[in-house]
Amino acid sequence: MPSTVVQFIFEVAVTSSVSFCYALWLGIRDYASVLDLQLKICDSKKQGFEPDVLLLLEHPPTITLGRNGKWNHLLVSEEFLRQRGVGIFEVDRGGDITFHGPGQLVGYPILKLQKGEQDVHQYMRNLEECLIRLLLDFEIEAKRSTQLTGVWTERGKIAALGVHISRWITRHGFALNVNTDLSYFDLIVPCGLAGRRVASMESMISRKIGMELVARRCAEMFGSVFARKVIWIRESELLEKLDDHAHKITAA
């Protein structure tokens, strides 16, 4: 159960004024194009685009190294990764090295954190809470660690977090193992934590789960924890709204 401090965090979230958050299900998308989309949305928000955005998707097999990462946590050569069809990126999120791939729900919230939300620790704990509530909805008991970020089960770490926050606008986010091929984690020291196991929802309940179903439930939990009214839209609709906003800024 959440500690007293965490309970206070959630009270702050639910008593804040409700903002809108567009949610998008993008399916399987390559890492570079989604990073470009994050940056486009983030730039628009820095210029006054009001709605927050939650991108939900899967990546093809990809390894990313965060700001605090160490290359010696990659246990194979880059040539081996190319032969296996695994991409690799060095990125500006926090955290160490991690894997993204099919069957893993990746969430990228691009939020403008409001007064009462402008605390990095609070933001990370709230992301964890979204996933803990989501997993409980599938009868999987999960918890947070007092010393490490992420979400954990009795069989190992099931979700990793890594974010970038500038001018209280967030990028990057979380990765939840749903039906993930966990053998890919043998290529790295996941999150730089040697000897720690990883788990997936499939490994916990012995059946595959529809990714869009998990994404929908994730968005619901996200809206509840962050006090956002979630509105599902298509990528084309979002791009049109971003372009309209850019034209208004240029014309002003």
- Strand boundaries in the chain, DSSP class E: 19-28, 52-58, 62-65, 87-90, 97-100, 104-110, 151-153, 156-166, 169-177, 228-232
Q: CA-to-CA distance for 35 and 42, rounded, in angstroms?
A: 10
Q: CA-to-CA distance for 52 and 112, rounded, in angstroms?
A: 7
**191 is annotated as an active-site residue:** yes
Q: CA-to-CA distance for 55 and 51, rounded, in angstroms?
A: 13
Q: What's the number of CA atoms in the CB half-sphere (13 Å) around residue 200?
A: 24
Q: CA-to-CA distance for 183 and 199, rounded, in angstroms?
A: 11
For 165, other C-beta atoms within 10 Å of its C-beta total: 17
Q: Which of 21, 42, 130, 191 is catalytic?
A: 191
**Kind of pairing between the strands at 19-28 and 169-177:** unpaired
Q: What angle do CA 132, 209, 29 make, to 5 degrees?
A: 90
Closest CA to 57 of 33, 91, 86, 82: 33
Query: Active-site positions?
Result: 191
